[in-house]
Amino acid sequence: TQQLLPGLSPRQRPFRVANADRSVKKGIMADSLRDLVNKVMDALHICCVSALVLDEDGTGVDTEDYFQTLVDNTAFVVLEKGQAWTAPVQLTISPVKA
């Protein structure tokens, strides 16, 4: 791992990353997109990350500068080769009407 001088290194921030079918999610600390990708491979047992996309709308996050604009606890979906982002399912349970 890369060791940056104190003061130059961005701080570790929390993110949430799910696999493509959202069956597994992990909270992960990372200071950069590269750092996050490395830790995602470890945490989710993925060998080859094809893309890291925003959970909410599938926006691909490819660059460090865009990554640094994201707020803490931004939710990602990690895609492996051949996988595509799908919209998150929102279940609403409504009271039964008589």
Chain contacts with a second copy (rule: CB under 8 A) = 12, 14, 16, 23-29, 43, 53-54, 57-63, 65-67, 69, 72, 75, 84, 87, 89-95
Residue 43 CB, nearest approach to a second copy (Å)? 7
Phi-psi region of 22 (alpha: psi -120 to 50; beta: other; left: phi over 0): left
Burial-class residue 16 by CB neighbours within 10 Å (0-12, 13-18, 19+).
middle
User: Whose Cβ is closer to a second copy: residue 2's or residue 90's?
Assistant: 90
User: Whose Cβ is closer to a second copy: residue 48's or residue 69's?
Assistant: 69
